[in-house]
């Protein structure tokens, strides 16, 4: 078993549970690799199939490499009321795909997420996991233009 | 009108990341007092006279729940704090955690003493990275000060699933499984985490416990509505001037929360509808707002208190457009365990989307009603049972919005 994976899992188990370990492994590789799943199985005394059984339930966990820039916009009613539709239109225009799609070059993916619990500052958008609140169509366009992957 | 703060009493006044600050304002004295009280007497105080009802939505008597777990057989028992907060429009638990994590820990530790549990878990939604960090830091500080004794508290992250907020699904998730709800009974108080007696309470419920223990049941019962005493934290969103969390006694009128705390509808527009409790709850019309916000009064007028999420909608919106996202939310979050919910939420979402796009017919409306009845009757858990509540409520209250969308029909 890859010692690096084991270390990540051991550390996560000190402070949390199996989902913490999965998220930590995902943080490392960008998604849950087959090796990571095997390491989880060993650590938690589960078959790899059982690890998949659990992991595939949760929308934050991924099983294949992700686009360089992942954009997620909140679908919650408070964000809708605050004008998320206009922001969606602006993002679609800027990156040239519809919501729910990925660009062919693997640079962008754009999708919905459920309420992020930031409804006091709606609409809310996640760009590679980083939270942006009170987003406007102009603001998001500027952000995406200047933003590389790490933005 | 002034806010009345119990669970948010320290918010903005102390540094949430310093246990010394919390102790300076009297923190952890309730824990000491609780530990000097007989377990049965402590639980009785909460149950009989305290009437602290769960703030996670269902409003179950907290003392009664604790007494169930206390009386349940078994040497190993658990306390679980539900910080999954996924109901759209709800962010009050995050506010409480991020402004005063120690009051939650103190509540959890009192619960652990009451039922004699040695292990406690806080299940926090994965999106709340900052909340998780703050909680873990607070636990480390409390341990260092020796306040936990032989009780361990751990924070487990969720990973993006709304149904995990349902207590039995949460327990499955904690056990490392898919978060599908379990059949009840047995209730968690009898067979919860690892099939051992377990108390599951909401963040806000735990946050109220130290104040109740410290100031007593009579004090608590003198506040708010008779059958649902105390305060409730509301998270305001939508077309309202002041968005944010406000805590009020439960006998305050809904209109006052909107007008006094919320500053009324934003941009001088007219109020059209209010949704209290989140996307799984119905709408209310402006003329229904002169009602007390407590759980029972809200139920009487066909609404719910739910999580305390308060969405304000002005008259520039057609309700059908708002319902599309809600219907898709339930479809996305359905765990897939039972057919009525798995298939029903999909069909309802398709139908609402079709109507919103102007391609619907009155027959589609009838079909939604039919599906909704089926789901209400036969879905396995409350997610499926309440997935269409907002839609059927909007149909009853705002039929004109639906007719406007299907106007093309001859
Ligand atoms: C679909 C669904 C989602 C729920 N989400 C939450 C939640 O995010 N937080 C919460 O405290 N309770 C949630 N509940 C209610 C819990 O099942 C449970 O009643 C609650 O945690 C008990 O705590 P309380 O008595 O302190 O309110 C949810 C229930 C259902 C059916
Ligand atoms: S009602 Fe929905 S969420 Fe609940 S068990 Fe059935 S499929 Fe799962
Ligand atoms: S609805 Fe978008 S953050 Fe809550």
Which structural domain, as residue segments, surrounds residue B248? 231-314
Q: Is B301 within the bounds of a domain?
A: yes
Beta-carbon separation of A78 and B238 below 8 A: yes
Phi first, then psi: what are they for B100, rounded to 5°? -160, 70
Among B164, B167, B376, B384, the mutation site with the greatest number of ligand 2 atoms within 8 A of its Cβ is B384
| Residues paired with B198 in a beta bridge | B78
Cross-strand bridge partners of residue A32: none
B9 part of a folded domain: no
Domain annotation covers residue B10: no
Q: Quote the pLDDT of residue B409.
A: 58
Cβ <8 Å between B127 and A76: no
CA A45/CA B41 separation, integer angstroms: 42
d(CA B65, CA B43): 9
Of B87, B179, B328, the CB nearest to A75: B328
Q: With an 8 Å Cβ cutoff, is A58 touching chain B?
A: yes
Q: In chain A, which stretches have pLDDT less than 70? A: 1, 147-151
| Same domain (yes/no): B120, B169 | yes
Pairwise CB contact (< 8 Å): B159 & A60: yes
If asked whether residues B194 and B250 sit together in one domain, one would say: no
Judge: A80–B157 Cβ closer than 8 Å, yes or no. Answer: no
* Residue B372 located in a structural domain: yes
Do A114 and B162 make contact, defined as CB atoms within 8 angstroms? yes
Q: A78: distance to nearest CA of chain B, Å?
A: 5
Q: Are B229 and B86 in contact (CB under 8 A)?
A: no
Domain boundary among B169, B189, B221: B221
Q: How many domains does chain B have?
A: 3
**Between A151 and B226, residue with greater pLDDT:** B226
Q: Which of B178, B195, B221 is the last residue of a domain?
A: B221
Which of A18, A59, A119 has the CB atom closest to B89's CB atom?
A119
Alpha helices, DSSP H, located in chain A: 3-15, 18-29, 34-44, 48-55, 77-81, 84-95, 137-146
Q: Touching check for B282 and chain A: CB below 8 Å?
A: no
**B222 CA to chain A: closest CA distance, Å?**
31
Which of B89, B155, B236 has its CB closest to that of A16?
Answer: B155
Secondary-structure class of domain A69-150 per CATH = alpha beta
Same domain, B58 and B206: yes
Using CA atoms in the order B389, B58, B28, B91, what is the torsion angle rounded to 10 degrees?
A: 0
H-state helical runs in B84-124? 92-99, 101-115
**Domain membership flag for residue B283:** yes
| Interface contact A114-B88, CB threshold 8 A | yes
Residues B136 and B42 in one domain: yes
Same domain, B244 and B358: no
In this structure, the answer to whether residues B292 and B384 fall within a common structural domain is no
The three-point CA angle B213-B218-B223 to 5° equals 100
Smallest Cβ–Cβ distance between B325 and the set A23, A46, A77 belongs to: A77
For B350-371, the pLDDT digits (tens) are 999 999 999 999 999 999 999 9
The alpha carbon of residue A107 is apart from the nearest alpha carbon of chain B, in Å, by 23
Peptide bond into B102 cis (omega under 30): no
Q: Does B244 touch chain A (CB under 8 A)?
A: yes
The last residue of one of the domains, among B255, B281, B314, is: B314
**What pLDDT is recorded for position B48?**
83
If you measure from the C-alpha of residue B318 to the centroid of ligand 3, how many angstroms do you get, rounded to a whole number? 19
H helices of B36-175, where?
39-44, 62-71, 92-99, 101-115, 129-144, 167-174
Same domain, B257 and B306: yes
We report the CATH number of the domain holding residue B47 as 3.40.50.11540
Q: What is the mean pLDDT of residues B390-407?
A: 96
Task: Give, as one character, the DSSP assignment of residue B200.
Answer: E
User: Does residue B8 belong to any structural domain of this protein?
Assistant: no
Q: Are B47 and B118 contained in the same domain?
A: yes
Distance of CA A111 to CAs A101, A124, B335, Å?
A: 7, 13, 20
Cβ–Cβ contact B203 with A under 8 A: no
Q: Check CB contact under 8 Å for B176 and A54.
A: yes
β A108-113/B271-276 pair status: unpaired
| Cα–Cα distance for residue pair A10/A21, rounded to 1 Å | 8
Considering every ligand atom, which ligand is closest to the CA of B166? 1
- Which residue, B61, B60, B54, B46, is CA-closest to B114? B46
Report whether residue B334 contacts ligand 1, using a CB cutoff of 6 Å. Answer: no
**CATH number for B296:** 3.10.20.600
Q: Which residues contact B355 (CB under 8 A, 6 or more apart)?
A: B320, B364, B365, B402, B405, B406
Residue pair B199/B115 in contact (Cβ under 8 Å)? The answer is yes
What 3-state DSSP class applies to A32?
Answer: coil
The response to whether residue B325 sits with its C-beta less than 6 Å from ligand 3 reads no
Residue of A nearest to B310 (CA): A78
Is the pLDDT score of B410 beyond 60?
Answer: no
CB atoms within 10 A of CB B221: 16
- Candidates B1, B49, B30; CA nearest to B208 is B30
Q: Which residues, numbered 361 to 380 in chain B, qualify as contacts with chain A under a Cβ-Cβ cut-off of 8 Å? A: none
d(CA B391, CA B187): 30
Judgement on whether residues B286 and B345 belong to the same structural domain of the protein: no
Question: Does residue A25 line the site of ligand 3, with CB under 6 A?
Answer: no
Residue among B175, B174, B171, B173 nearest B184 (CA): B171
B273-292 confidence digits (pLDDT tens): 999 999 999 999 999 999 99
Residues of chain B neighbouring A118 (CB-CB closer than 8 A): 91
CATH number, domain with residue B324: 1.20.1440.230
Does B324 lie in the same domain as B308? no
**CA A111, CA B160: separation in Å to the nearest integer?**
14
Cis peptide before B403 (omega within 30 of 0): no
Set of chain A residues whose Cβ sits within 8 Å of the Cβ of B155: 15-16
Confirm whether B279 is domain-assigned: yes
Which residues on adjacent β-strands are paired with residue A72? A111, A126
The residue of chain B with its CA nearest to that of A62 is B159
Query: Could you give the residue range(s) of every CATH 3.40.30.10 domain in chain A?
Result: 69-150
Q: What percent of chain B has pLDDT over 70?
A: 99
Same domain membership, residue B341 and residue B303: no
- Please say whether the beta carbons of B204 and B92 come within 8 A: yes
B58, part of any domain:
yes
| pLDDT bracket for residue B379 (50, 70, 90) | very high
Q: What is the ipTM of this complex?
A: 0.96
């Amino acid at each position: 078993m890859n010692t690096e994976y084991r270390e990540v899992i051991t550390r996560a188990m000190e402070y949390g549970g199996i989902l913490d370990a999965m998220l930590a492994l995902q943080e490392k590789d960008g998604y849950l690799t087959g090796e990571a799943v095997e390491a989880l199985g060993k650590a938690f005394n589960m078959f790899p199939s059982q690890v998949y059984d659990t992991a595939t339930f949760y929308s934050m966990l991924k099983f294949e490499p992700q686009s360089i820039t992942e954009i997620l916009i909140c679908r919650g009613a408070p964000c809708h009321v605050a004008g998320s539709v206009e922001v969606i239109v602006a993002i679609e225009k800027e990156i040239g795909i519809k919501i729910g799609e990925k660009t062919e070059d693997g640079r962008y993916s754009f999708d919905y997420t459920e309420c992020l619990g930031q409804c006091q500052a709606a609409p809310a958008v996640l760009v590679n996991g980083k939270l942006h609140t009170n987003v406007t169509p102009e603001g998001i366009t500027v952000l995406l233009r200047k933003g590389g992957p790490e933005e | 009108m002034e806010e009345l703060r119990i669970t948010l009493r320290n918010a903005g006044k102390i540094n949430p990341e310093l246990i010394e600050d919390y102790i300076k304002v009297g923190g952890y004295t309730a824990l000491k007092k609780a530990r000097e009280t007989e377990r049965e007497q402590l639980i009785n105080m909460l149950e009989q006279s305290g009437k602290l009802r769960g703030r996670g939505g269902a409003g179950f008597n907290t003392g009664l729940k604790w007494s169930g777990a206390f009386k349940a057989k078994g040497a190993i028992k658990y306390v679980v704090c539900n910080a999954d907060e996924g109901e759209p429009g709800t962010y009050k638990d995050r506010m409480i955690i991020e402004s005063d994590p120690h009051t939650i820990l103190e509540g959890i530790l009192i619960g652990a003493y009451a039922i004699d549990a040695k292990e406690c878990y806080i299940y926090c939604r994965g999106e709340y990275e900052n909340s998780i960090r703050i909680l873990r830091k607070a636990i480390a500080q409390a341990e260092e000060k020796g306040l936990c004794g032989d009780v361990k508290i751990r924070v487990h992250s969720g990973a993006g699933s709304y149904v995990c907020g349902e207590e039995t699904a949460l327990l499955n998730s904690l056990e490392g499984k898919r978060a599908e709800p379990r059949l009840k009974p047995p209730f968690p108080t009898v067979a919860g985490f690892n099939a051992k007696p377990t108390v599951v309470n909401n963040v806000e419920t735990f946050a109220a416990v130290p104040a109740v223990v410290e100031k007593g049941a009579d004090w608590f019962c003198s506040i708010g509505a008779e059958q649902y005493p105390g305060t409730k934290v509301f998270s305001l969103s939508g077309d309202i001037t002041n968005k944010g969390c406000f805590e009020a006694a439960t006998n305050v009128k809904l209109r006052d929360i909107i007008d006094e705390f919320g500053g009324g509808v934003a941009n001088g527009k007219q109020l059209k509808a209010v949704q209290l409790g989140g996307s799984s709850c119905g709408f209310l019309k402006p003329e229904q707002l002169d009602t007390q916000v407590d759980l029972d009064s809200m139920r009487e007028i066909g609404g719910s208190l739910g999580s305390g999420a308060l969405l304000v909608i002005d008259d520039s919106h057609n309700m059908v457009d708002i319902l599309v996202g809600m219907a898709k939310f339930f479809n996305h979050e359905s765990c897939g365990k039972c057919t009525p919910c798995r298939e029903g939420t999909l069909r309802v979402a398709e139908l609402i989307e079709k109507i919103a796009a102007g391609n619907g017919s009155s027959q589609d409306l009838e079909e939604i009603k039919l599906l909704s009845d089926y789901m209400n009757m036969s879905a396995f858990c409350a997610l499926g049972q309440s997935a269409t509540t907002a839609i059927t409520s909007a149909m009853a209250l705002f039929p004109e919005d639906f007719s406007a969308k299907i106007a093309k029909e001859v």
